[in-house]
Amino acid sequence: MIRSAITGSGSALPQRCVSNEELARQVDTSDEWIVERTGIRQRYIAGEGETTSSLAIEAARKACEDAGIDSKSIDLIILATATPDNTFPATATRVQDALGCNGGIAFDVAAVCSGFLYALATADSMLRTGMAKRALVIGSETFSRILDWEDRTTCVLFGDGAGAVVLEARESDTDGAGVISSSLHADGAQHELLYVDGGPSTTQTVGHVRMRGREVFRHAVVNLAQVLGEVLEESGLSIADVDWLVPHQANARILDATARKLGIDPERVVVTVDRHANTSAASVPLAFDTARKDGRIKPGDLVMFEAMGGGFTWGASLIRM
């Protein structure tokens, strides 16, 4: 049996860090309000020349280096983003060209904040069926470019960044490492609660993020607890077996509520929302890379990813490192 093992990770952030205090000089908000309601203290905002592809390329290069592989040997790139460089072609093809692995498979997936979970499950399926052997799964976003900077209810919540993992097909008896189970969902009836009010086929503009935050919050806690229960049940493992929960970093209060509902020790939850804010599809791989590089996540650990985003879409994966 083939398993897809994570053999490396990398991440990238724009140069400019914007604190809540700095934001409060431009928008009618305060550090106190943002910290109390979301746990966010700062975010990184892309400047001139920094794009979804440039961040993705940096994260991907670091992931290949971390895995100790030549980027030319990558035969599959799946990039999750809601903020591509261009409407087409896929931003993944820019990454492919920069890495010099032209000729393999490269495409984007659009599942907003759950994008990395959708990309990971897709890459896992493709590796297990033999379509590819060595994949890069990337989440990269420049959400700052689709924010309405006059809307204080959304613009304080998001940031830019990228995270990437190398996923390699291996015989499952090598060391037991790999994706154990994944579960994905979508509910198109909830479109109006979180969406962008533009697009090539409707307004011929990029549009801005619109959100009914309170309702999103309510759905997030219910959907995430459900999908996390599913991946555990499918694997025959329990929450007590999980070493690290790496959740989508939207809001510290959602993280707390989900951890409570699951019954996991808050010390086992990786939190980076204070530093990165919500980086949409980049948030899970960014948090994962942070916890791997600071030594928390180690070989052999059981790690659970989860995310929920516009659509709604939501998903989870259970991985043995």
- Residue numbers at the binding site for ligand COA (CB under 6 A): 29, 33, 37-38, 113, 152-153, 156, 211, 213-214, 216-217, 250-251, 254, 278, 308-309
Q: Which of 101, 248, 251, 276 is catalytic?
A: 248
Cβ-based nearer residue to ligand COA, 123 or 250: 250
Cβ-based nearer residue to ligand COA, 249 or 317: 249
- Shortest gap between Cβ of 181 and ligand COA (angstroms)? 23
User: Which residues sit opposite 171 in a β-bridge?
Assistant: 2
| Catalytic (active site) residue 219 | no
* Structural contact between residues 251 and 38, judged by C-beta atoms closer than 8 angstroms: yes
| Catalytic (active site) residue 278 | yes
- Shortest gap between Cβ of 274 and ligand COA (angstroms)? 14
- Shortest gap between Cβ of 38 and ligand COA (angstroms)? 5
- Shortest gap between Cβ of 174 and ligand COA (angstroms)? 35
Residue 224 makes CB contacts below 8 A (sequence gap 6+) with: 247, 254, 258, 306, 308, 314, 316
Residue 193 makes CB contacts below 8 A (sequence gap 6+) with: 211, 212, 215, 216, 219, 312
Buried/exposed 188-224: b ≥16 CB within 10 Å, e otherwise: eebeebbbbeeeeeeeeeebbbbbebeebeebbbebb
Q: Which of 20, 223, 251, 278 is catalytic?
A: 278
Q: Which of 113, 155, 208, 276 is catalytic?
A: 113
| Catalytic (active site) residue 113 | yes
Cβ-based nearer residue to ligand COA, 211 or 242: 211
Cβ-based nearer residue to ligand COA, 25 or 214: 214
Structure-token match 């939207």, residue found = 250
Residue nearest to ligand COA (CB): 213
Burial of 185 (0-12, 13-18, 19+ CB in 10 A): middle
Map residue 127 onto helix, strand or coil. Answer: helix
* Active-site residue set: 113, 248, 278
